[in-house]
Structures are given as C-alpha cells and as structure tokens.
Amino acid sequence: MSEYLPSPRDWVKDQVELYEGSGGTDGLTLRDTGLPVIIVTNKGLKTGAVRKTPLMKVVDGNSYILVASQGGAPKHPLWYHNLIAEPNVKIQDETQVQSMRVREIRQSAERVRLWDIAVAAFPPYQEYQDKTDRLIPVFLAEPTS
C-alpha cells in the first residue's frame, strides 16, 4: 500500500488524525456543526499516495452518498478526480471500516433521489448548488462484498 499523504488543510488533517487515532470514537462530527462524518480513504490521482477525506455521513441503505460540493466552489474538489480514476475506496464510519466501490450518479431519477437524501442530511448542500454554475457531483459508495 502507498504511503499516507495528509491533507494540506489543517482542519482536514486534524480531523482524520482524531477520528482514526481514536479508533472511530472521537472526531465524528464536522467541526462545530454536530453533524456526523465518515472518513473516505482513496488513492491520489497524481501522487498515487493514500488520501483521506472527512465527508458528511449520508446513507442510503448500506451505501453512502458522497457529495463533491466543496462548499459550492467553482471547481470540483481534488478527491472527485481521485474517485473517478480509482473507484475502490475504504470508508470508516465510526469504528467500522469497509471496502467500497463508488460510481458517479449523473442526471437521472436516481441522482435526484440521492440528492434529496443528501440535502435532508446536510441542508447547506442546496445552498452550495445554488451558488455555483457546476452541477455538484454525487457518488454512491456501495459495499464490495
């Protein structure tokens, strides 16, 4: 396995360290929101290194909905490109870690359904979409076994 390369963003690096360092018992919410997060581990497209990103916990059955919002920024987050290039990821949800495979859900009734679930879990997603010209990507992470 490649070496872990922490995020250059301190809050991301710190959250991943707290979450994983506690075995999934601490650092479970996004900053001061009180809303739950998961840790998505994937392979970096350019570096090949292991990358880890805390994302909002949004579930659909035994799958996770991953929203590449980047707060409504004009460009996709870097992890979006990583997942397109290598869809096999690990997701840590509290103390549980699972191997999963992601797929981007493009314009369809399924995307609308998943988007609605995501906005219900984290209402700012709709504000982010309203302030950007890009269609915010939605992935579905499904168990591989």
Residue 15 is part of a domain; what is its CATH number? 2.30.110.10
Range of the domain at 24: 10-143
In a domain, 111, yes or no: yes
Chain mean position to CA 62:
15
Residues 7, 53 contacting (CB under 8 angstroms): yes
Q: Is residue 94 classed exposed, middle or buried when 0-12, 13-18 and 19+ CB atoms within 10 A define those classes? A: middle
Count how many domains the chain has: 1
* DSSP letter for each residue of 58-111: -EETTEEEEE--GGG-SS--HHHHHHHH--EEEEEETTEEEEEEEEE--SSHHH
In a domain, 14, yes or no: yes
In a domain, 4, yes or no: no
In a domain, 134, yes or no: yes
**Tens digit of pLDDT for each residue in 1-35?**
589 999 999 999 999 999 999 999 999 998 778 89
In a domain, 2, yes or no: no
- Per the listing, tokens 């979409």 go with 129
In a domain, 22, yes or no: yes
Encoded tokens for 145: 């076994």
Task: Give dist(CA 46, CA 39) in Å, integer.
Answer: 20
In a domain, 25, yes or no: yes
In a domain, 133, yes or no: yes
**Tens digit of pLDDT for each residue in 49-76?**
999 999 999 999 999 999 999 999 999 9
Residues 133, 117 contacting (CB under 8 angstroms): no
Average pLDDT of the chain? 95
